[in-house]
């Protein structure tokens, strides 16, 4: 009887672990996990949209912050503009090439992540509204998903 109870518990635990396991994806020689063109396209679309939304909120928040009227204000707004411009261009390049491995797409992804890194510094060094911080957290999450596609450094 003790043996049957132990077997039932083992089977139950095995079924639970199997059901809780993340889905597996195909692998290739260059990456641990292959991300589909649709997945990459979705991330790029979100980055382009969220960077535009973020830019608008960022501009408003900067105008009502301690850096309003300083030289830093102009530089901070320019960084947000650069991020949005880079993200829009990434969407366009990916739309033309439709291949995440195309050098032009990878180069533009790198430029977009560099621009995001600059904005990340501003967000870390200054306190803005909770809404802007939530918007940045969402955009940063998408930027980190993009970085993971190309095995680049994540934004902290």
pLDDT in tens, 22-79: 333 333 344 444 466 668 899 999 999 999 999 999 998 888 877 767 787 888 889 9
Instruction: Please check the confidence at residue 21 and state whether its pLDDT lies above 50.
Output: no
What percentage of the chain reaches a pLDDT higher than 90? Answer: 51
Domain-located, residue 67: yes
In a domain, 20, yes or no: no
Domain extent at residue 92: 36-149
Assigned domain for 12 exists: no
Does the residue 5 lie in any domain? no
- Across the chain, mean pLDDT equals 80
Contact indicator for 80, 55 with CB cutoff of 8 Å: yes
Q: What is the pLDDT of residue 25?
A: 38
Task: Give domain status of residue 11, yes or no.
Answer: no
In a domain, 108, yes or no: yes
Number of domains in the chain: 1
* pLDDT score recorded for residue 27: 37
**Distance between CA atoms of residues 62 and 66, nearest Å:** 8
In a domain, 119, yes or no: yes
Cβ proximity of 125 and 144 under 8 Å: no
């Amino acid at each position: 009887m003790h043996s049957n109870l132990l077997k039932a518990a083992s089977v139950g635990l095995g079924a639970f672990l199997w059901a809780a396991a993340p889905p597996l994806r195909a692998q290739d020689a260059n990456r641990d996990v292959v991300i589909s063109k649709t997945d990459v396209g979705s991330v790029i679309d979100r980055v382009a949209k969220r960077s535009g939304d973020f830019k608008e909120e960022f501009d408003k928040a900067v105008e009502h912050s301690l850096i309003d009227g300083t030289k830093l204000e102009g530089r901070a707004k320019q960084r947000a503009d650069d991020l949005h411009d880079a993200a829009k261009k990434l969407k366009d390049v990916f739309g033309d090439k439709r291949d995440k491995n195309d050098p032009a797409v990878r180069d533009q992804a790198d430029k977009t992540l560099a621009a995001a890194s600059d904005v990340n510094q501003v967000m870390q060094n200054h306190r803005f509204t909770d809404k802007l911080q939530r918007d940045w957290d969402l955009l940063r999450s998408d930027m980190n998903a993009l970085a993971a596609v190309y095995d680049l450094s994540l934004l902290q």
